[in-house]
Structures are given as C-alpha cells and as structure tokens.
Structure 1
Amino acid sequence: MDTQQETPRIVVGVDGSRSSRAALEWAVRYAGLVGGTVEAVTAWEVPGEASWSAPAVDATFDEEEAERRLVDEVRSVLGDQGASRVHEKLVHGHPVEVLVDASQGADMLVVGSRGRGGFRRALLGSVSQQVSLHSACPVTIVRPTAADR
C-alpha cells in the first residue's frame, strides 16, 4: 500500500468578476489549510462566441492578451507573493466544459456565484449551476462579501 498522499489540487474559475475574485481568495485560503495547490482557470473563446470570457474582453482581444489579463487578475487579487502559489491556466472553450474538464482529478472546484455573463448568461444557464451538476469533484460556490458588492 502506497502511504504517499498526493497534494490536493484546487481548481478555481477566474473571469474578472467580483464573485470570481472572492472565489480565488477562498481557494487560496482553503489550499493553505489542506496543503494544496491552486490552479486558476479562465475559459477563452474568440470574441462574439457565446461564452464566459476572460477578464475585460474587448474587440481587439486575443489569446496572448487573455493570458496576460489572467496573470494580472491573479496578481491584483492576491499580490505578488500570493500569486506565486497559483498556477494560471488559459483554456480555449466554453466555460462549463473547460471547468468540468479541469475538475477531473481535482479535489475541489471553486467558482463565484455570479460571473460576467449578464443577461445572456441568465438565458443560457449559470456556469456555477452547470458545473455543480457536472463536475467530477466537489464544488464550492463563493459569493462576494458585502464589502465586495
């Protein structure tokens, strides 16, 4: 019997919203308690595709810019020292599919309660609701604090 235990992997969805910032902070605190690692995942699609998108999408957005903004978002929430404990991952695809795929082999998937999707997302269904139904691991849905709202 192998007595070595793998380091817990905590996946967190990041989209630049207040809820995802709160989820990122929660995931880092939780990983610290359980001795885990944090993987911050952003789904990226070409502008105009119906998607949960990387932080601050605009008409000139490209994959390199999405990756830079993900790194900047993590650093703005956690500072340089905190960000050094997080692995950023930009994945092309629909956010539900990206996060459900990322949940494979993870110990926890953390998402915010409300992302950047607005009215269009309400018509299509919430990312947090869909990942809670289809994730391969437990899901924590984090609401922003009163100070963040």
Structure 2
Amino acid sequence: MDPHDSAPRVVVGVDGSPSSYAALRWAIRHATLIGGVVDAIAAWEPPSHIGWSAPVVDSSFDKDLAERRFTEELHQVLEADRPVEVREHLVMGDPSDVLLAAAQGAEVLVVGGHGHSSFTRALLGSVSMRCAQHATCPVVIVRPQ
C-alpha cells in the first residue's frame, strides 16, 4: 500500500497568476505541517467548449506541451523547495468544477484571490468565490504579497 494513499490531501488551483503561485506556496507549507501531499490542479477549457452543442474540438491544444509547461511552471515557482510530494494534474473543464471535484475528500482547497485595482482587490475572483461557496472542505483564499 502506498503511504500517500492515506496522507491528507491539500488541493491547490494553479492558473499562472501571482495569487495562484502564492496559493501553491501556502499549500506546500500547510501540507508539510500536516504530513500531507499536494495535488496541484490546472484546468483548461477550449474556447469552443461553452455554448455549442457539437463535440468540443480544439486542434490547436497540445496536451503534452501543456503538461510540460505546467511542470516547468511549478518548478520555477517552487525551485527545489518540495518538502512534500506535489502531484500535477492538468484537467479539461471549467476551473471551478474541476477544483470542486478534486477537493472531494481533501483536507483543504487552496485558491488564489484575484484583484488588480483598488476596487477589484476588495472582491474575490469568480473561481475563488464559487469554490468558497460550494466546496465540501475548508477553503483558503490566498492573495499575492
């Protein structure tokens, strides 16, 4: 039996934003404290995914390339600082839906809070707001420093 099967899971959404990088670092620190593992989730949605009844076809999307870029992105953010196992997941779907599904049974869901102006900083991003409202586990929303 894999010892990580019973380890607490910390799920974190990574979308390339500074707040998601801050959330990833927070998730690593928290998983270290609780003896857990981190599931780093990146969701992608083809532009033709919403509003069409035909099957989704996005011939420009290269999943292998996207997975390599996601791995490189995580390496750049974390460098060699990986005191816990970080599992990478690139999933097609609406980011909110993907994160909520991944957080089922998790110890905590960690997401970044977006905000660029003084007004929008007072508001949560739509993904973080939806996760906070619908997750079945505690949710931590991290803003960049």
> So what's the TM-score if we normalise by structure 2?
0.77
Contact 2:31 2:84 in 1 (8 A): no
Contact 1:44 1:66 in 2 (8 A): no
Which residue does 2:19 correspond to in 1?
19
- The CA distance in 1 between the partners of 2:25 and 2:64, in whole Å, is 24
In the TM superposition, residue 65 of structure 1 has moved relative to its aligned partner by 2.0
> 1:71 is matched by which residue type in structure 2?
T
- 1:81-96 to structure 2, matched below 5 A, reads 81-82=81-82, 85-96=85-96
- The CA distance in 2 between the partners of 1:111 and 1:97, in whole Å, is 13
Larger radius of gyration, structure 1 or 2?
Answer: 2
- The CA distance in 1 between the partners of 2:9 and 2:49, in whole Å, is 30
Which residue does 1:102 correspond to in 2?
102
Which residue does 2:79 correspond to in 1?
79
For the residue of structure 2 that corresponds to 1:82, the secondary structure is: coil
> 1:22 is matched by which residue type in structure 2?
A
Deviations 1:58-86 (A, max 9, x none): x9542222211211111011114528721
- The CA distance in 1 between the partners of 2:48 and 2:62, in whole Å, is 12
Which residue does 1:128 correspond to in 2?
128
- The CA distance in 2 between the partners of 1:49 and 1:20, in whole Å, is 23
Alignment: residue pair count: 124
Contact 2:36 2:84 in 1 (8 A): no
**Residues 11, 134 of structure 1: CA spacing in aligned structure 2 closer, same or farther, 3 A cutoff?**
same
Q: Which segments of 5 or more consecutive residues in structure 1 lack a partner in the other structure?
A: 1-5, 51-58, 116-124
Contact 2:28 2:83 in 1 (8 A): no
Higher deviation after alignment, 61-70 or 90-99: 61-70
- The CA distance in 2 between the partners of 1:42 and 1:144, in whole Å, is 18
Q: Which segments of 5 or more consecutive residues in structure 2 lack a partner in the other structure?
A: 1-5, 51-58, 116-124
Contact 1:9 1:36 in 2 (8 A): yes
- The CA distance in 2 between the partners of 1:76 and 1:44, in whole Å, is 20
**Residues 101, 90 of structure 1: CA spacing in aligned structure 2 closer, same or farther, 3 A cutoff?**
same
In the TM superposition, residue 49 of structure 1 has moved relative to its aligned partner by 4.5
